[in-house]
Amino acid sequence: MTPLIPKTSNGGKGRSRLLDQQEALIRKTIEDLYLTPQKLSPARLVEEIQKRCTVERLKAPSEATIRRRLCQLPTTSLKVRDKSSSTIEPIMGLFPEVEYPLSVVQIDHTLVDIIIVGTVAKNDVFIQIL
């Protein structure tokens, strides 16, 4: 009786079970929106692929399928997303000679999100710090 039942392809081990149109749509969306300097997050990419599949009237692939495609990308094709992940080169130069403690003082001009409110007495004058 089994020869009468139409056999559907499951892709086979290690091969895709998606239609060629689905694969092409996933590939194109990854190239257009993920492999760019301002790439989308993986979660946003999944939403976009599923939305495009709906527009094309294709069955949307699962999130796990799309994330597997991202994991299969070679690292050489991924572009740097932000400056913090790029390599930092040190500034080469000479440091002044230190002769006594505190002869060289360095200050970091980093902005902090605090407001100090209080009074400080200095030479019998009260200063309001805001």
Burial label, 50 (beta-carbon count in 10 A; 0-12, 13-18, 19+):
middle
Q: pTM for the full model?
A: 0.51
List of domains in the chain: 18-82 (1.10.10)
Closest CA to 34 of 48, 23, 17, 20: 48
Tens of pLDDT, residue by residue, the chain (130 residues): 566 666 666 666 667 788 888 889 998 998 888 888 888 888 999 999 999 999 999 898 889 988 988 888 887 666 554 455 556 677 788 887 888 998 888 888 777 777 767 666 666 555 555 5
